[in-house]
């Protein structure tokens, strides 16, 4: 299936000029992945809108992760379902929550419904929390159903940045989970029918783990260092700085490097309420989603990622509440005493008057303390609710600073002003390269650690390890020489060939050979006849690798090595 999204205005071999620019849904979007880059206002979102319109025309399902509410206008002409974090009037499904993720993913994939996840109304915390639950659910449902769908990741530089500016711990944990599953979608999603389009302002702002999954690139207008980086890929890079709105350079095609002009859209562009009566969406989708949501259990408890940051404040609030309650009890007790004193005032000696005044003073002090504690309690709760909003404001300020820096370089280049000395520019470039390498290394190590943890904590992997231990345990406890032969064999390095004659087990060579062949039959050892006679190799590493990667194809070597070490230790102890 091919979709036409523009016209070719330049090609290196000159043969394609004037022809339509088409994208093959399976070949370009699903098999290879597409990245779209460009300055603000250069036309990248317009191209995405055009692609989505053509996909809708062709009946190809898609799912858009829409941070800025750019694509809800598709409802003007197409039966696209909009699911929103807020209660927006244009939304077909309002106030979606993380707990609804699996139901939404399953229903979208089963019905083949084109959909937009509208995240604009949410705070940064709400956006990342939803995606942290939705993306794994979407990936695993796609893995199960294997139905072609195109996933569009808008504002990729905010969701999966090369260098995260987020400092609030609970947000950081959600963002790490989002980045991990977006990498999985890009790296292995094509095997399950998931197409991938990532959209961002600058290639340098997007995590390498995201960009490297997109073999096809479309570059709209760029300036400064982005053009310099693009020169490493094509001699046409200099043209990019002079592009008009809607012009773009296409890299990664099989036969040519071309420049295109994006075709006209049918729907209103931009994040506005549709100007016409929206097209009615599928009643079948809404009814199935409603049915799926009946089984959803909603948790009112705070997100796990918030616990570490707010636990101290929560405990303080609880202590304050306990103290307030104690003071209220004391207050009631003092009131009762006061009433009793008043009732007996005429019957007691004059010194009771002094006691009465003391009780009044105590009561007044208790009331004042209660008011102070309640005010402090309210202030702490207010600080808690403002934390994520403050982080989002800081994020916007940092983005503005980056944009201002880019504009400064553009002005320097456009007006040929020597605002920044050449030696400083060169030093900055070298610093940027070193910094980039360091960040890539740190990110790679973090991703590796996360993959190791996910592999070792995978219930299916744990189940296989227990099964392997049962197999090894039966061999350890068997009567005869098998336990000793197993221990000796498993100590050999994987590349060393050994022979039955080398074993000191107090039995005949034929008995040793028979036991070794049995271990080879269980894949714990490997038979080897390269030396002209039957020998064996330690095969436990290969045994573990094959079984673990049947469960998790992307399992890191380090995770496999840990499982091997665990099994070897189990045999030898």
Query: pLDDT tens across 221-265, in order?
Result: 998 888 988 998 888 888 999 999 999 999 988 777 889 999 999
What residue ranges in 215-350 does DSSP mark as E strands?
A: 216-219, 247-251, 258-262
pLDDT of res. 305? 47
pLDDT of res. 302? 46
Q: Where are the domains of the chain?
A: 2-300, 312-407, 458-572
Q: Which two tokens stand for residue 154?
A: 């808008």
Kindly report the CATH number that applies to the domain delimited by 2-300.
3.40.50.300
Asked whether the predicted pLDDT for residue 387 surpasses 90, the reply is: no
Among the residue ranges 61-70, 269-278, 445-454, the one predicted with the least confidence is 269-278
Q: Quick count: other Cβ atoms within 10 Å of Cβ 407?
A: 12
pLDDT digits (tens, 9 = 90+) for 346-378: 565 666 667 777 778 888 888 888 888 888 888
Higher pLDDT, 199 or 433: 199
Among the residue ranges 63-67, 186-190, 226-230, 379-383, the one predicted with the least confidence is 379-383
pLDDT > 90 in the chain, percent: 40
Residue-averaged pLDDT of the chain:
85
- Residue range 142-169: mean pLDDT, rounded: 86
- Residue range 474-490: mean pLDDT, rounded: 90
219-236 burial code (b ≥16 CB/10 A, e <16): bbbbbbbbbeebeeebeb
Bridge partners (DSSP) of residue 200 are 37
The confidence band for 174, taking pLDDT boundaries of 50, 70 and 90, is confident
pLDDT of res. 293? 84
Bridge partners (DSSP) of residue 538 are 525
pLDDT of res. 384? 67
The confidence band for 294, taking pLDDT boundaries of 50, 70 and 90, is confident
Residues whose CB is less than 8 angstroms from the CB of residue 378 and which lie 6 or more positions away in sequence, other chains included: none
Helix or strand (DSSP H, E) at 460: helix 459-477
Asked whether the predicted pLDDT for residue 306 surpasses 70, the reply is: no
pLDDT of res. 45? 92
Q: Which two tokens stand for residue 547?
A: 């079984």
pLDDT of res. 419? 62
Around 296, how many Cα atoms within 13 Å sit in the side-chain half-sphere?
A: 19
Asked whether the predicted pLDDT for residue 300 surpasses 50, the reply is: no
Q: Are 12 and 257 in contact (CB under 8 A)?
A: yes
Higher pLDDT, 326 or 539: 539
The confidence band for 59, taking pLDDT boundaries of 50, 70 and 90, is very high
458-572 domain in CATH 3.90.660?
no
pLDDT digits (tens, 9 = 90+) for 396-428: 787 777 677 666 666 665 666 666 666 766 776
The confidence band for 561, taking pLDDT boundaries of 50, 70 and 90, is very high
Bridge partners (DSSP) of residue 299 are none
- Residue range 118-122: mean pLDDT, rounded: 91
Higher pLDDT, 316 or 461: 461
Starting from the edge strand earliest in sequence, which strands make up the sheet with 194-200, in order? 20-24, 2-11, 258-262, 247-251, 216-219, 34-37, 194-200, 149-153, 62-66, 115-118, 81-84
Asked whether the predicted pLDDT for residue 301 surpasses 60, the reply is: no
pLDDT of res. 90? 87
Asked whether the predicted pLDDT for residue 572 surpasses 60, the reply is: yes
CA gyration radius, the chain? 33
Among the residue ranges 119-133, 186-200, 274-288, the one predicted with the least confidence is 274-288
**In degrees rounded to 5, what are phi and psi of residue 84?**
-120, 150
- Residue range 98-110: mean pLDDT, rounded: 90
Calculate ∠ Cα 466-454-473, nearest 5°: 10
pLDDT of res. 428? 66
pLDDT of res. 405? 66
Burial class (CB in 10 A: 0-12, 13-18, 19+), 343: exposed
Residues whose CB is less than 8 angstroms from the CB of residue 202 and which lie 6 or more positions away in sequence, other chains included: 37, 157, 222, 226
pLDDT of res. 362? 80
DSSP at 352: H
Asked whether the predicted pLDDT for residue 82 surpasses 90, the reply is: yes
């Amino acid at each position: 299936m091919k979709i036409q999204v523009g016209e070719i205005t330049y090609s290196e071999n000159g043969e394609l000029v004037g022809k339509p620019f088409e994208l093959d849904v399976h070949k370009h979007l699903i098999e290879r992945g597409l990245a779209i880059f460009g300055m603000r206002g250069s036309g990248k979102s317009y191209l995405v809108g055009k692609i989505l319109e053509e996909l809708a025309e062709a009946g190809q399902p898609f799912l858009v992760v829409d941070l800025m509410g750019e694509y809800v206008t598709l409802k003007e002409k197409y039966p696209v379902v909009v699911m929103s974090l807020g209660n927006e009037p244009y939304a077909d499904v309002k106030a979606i929550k993380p707990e609804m993720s699996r139901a939404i993913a399953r229903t979208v994939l089963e019905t083949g419904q084109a959909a937009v996840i509208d995240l604009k109304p949410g705070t940064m915390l709400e956006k990342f929390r939803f995606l942290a639950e939705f993306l794994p659910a979407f990936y695993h449902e796609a893995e199960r159903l294997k139905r072609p769908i195109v996933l569009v990741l808008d504002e990729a530089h905010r969701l999966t940045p090369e260098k995260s500016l987020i400092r609030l711990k609970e947000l950081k944990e959600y963002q790490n989970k989002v980045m991990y599953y977006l990498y999985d979608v890009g790296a292995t999603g094509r095997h399950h029918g998931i197409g991938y389009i990532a959209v961002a302002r600058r290639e340098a702002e997007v995590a390498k783990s995201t960009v490297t999954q997109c073999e096809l690139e479309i570059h709209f207008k760029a300036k400064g260092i982005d053009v310099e980086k693009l020169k490493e890929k094509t001699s046409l890079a200099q043209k990019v700085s002079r592009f008009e709105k809607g012009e773009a350079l296409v890299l990664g095609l099989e036969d040519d490097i071309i420049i295109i002009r994006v075709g006209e859209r049918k729907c209103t562009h931009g994040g506005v309420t549709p100007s016409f009566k929206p097209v009615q969406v599928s009643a079948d989708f809404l009814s199935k989603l409603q049915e799926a949501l009946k089984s959803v259990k909603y948790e009112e408890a705070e997100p796990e990622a918030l616990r570490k940051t707010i636990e101290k404040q929560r405990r303080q609030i609880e202590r304050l509440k306990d103290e307030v309650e104690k003071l209220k009890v004391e207050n009631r007790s003092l009131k009762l005493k006061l009433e009793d004193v008043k009732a007996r005032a005429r019957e007691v000696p004059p010194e009771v008057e002094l006691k009465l005044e003391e009780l009044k003073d105590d009561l007044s002090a208790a009331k004042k303390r209660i008011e102070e504690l309640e005010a402090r309690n309210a202030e702490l709760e207010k600080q808690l609710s403002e934390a994520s909003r403050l982080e989002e404001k800081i994020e916007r300020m940092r983005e503005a600073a980056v944009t201002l820096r880019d504009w400064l370089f553009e002005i320097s280049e456009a007006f040929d002003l020597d605002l920044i000395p050449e030696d400083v520019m060169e030093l900055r470039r070298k610093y940027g390269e070193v910094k980039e390498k360091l960040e890539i290394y740190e990110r790679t190590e973090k991703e590796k650690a996360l993959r190791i943890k996910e592999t070792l904590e995978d219930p299916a992997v744990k189940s296989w390890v227990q099964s392997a231990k049962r197999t090894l345990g039966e061999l350890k406890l068997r009567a005869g020489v098998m336990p000793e032969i197993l221990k000796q064999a498993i100590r050999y390095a994987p590349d060393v060939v050994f022979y039955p004659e080398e074993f000191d087990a107090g039995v005949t060579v034929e008995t040793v050979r028979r036991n070794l062949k049995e271990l080879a039959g269980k894949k714990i050892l490997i038979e080897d006849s390269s030396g002209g006679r039957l020998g064996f190799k330690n095969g436990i590493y290969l045994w573990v690798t094959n079984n673990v990667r049947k469960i998790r194809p992307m399992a890191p070597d380090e995770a496999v090595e840990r499982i091997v070490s665990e099994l070897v230790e189990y045999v030898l102890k």
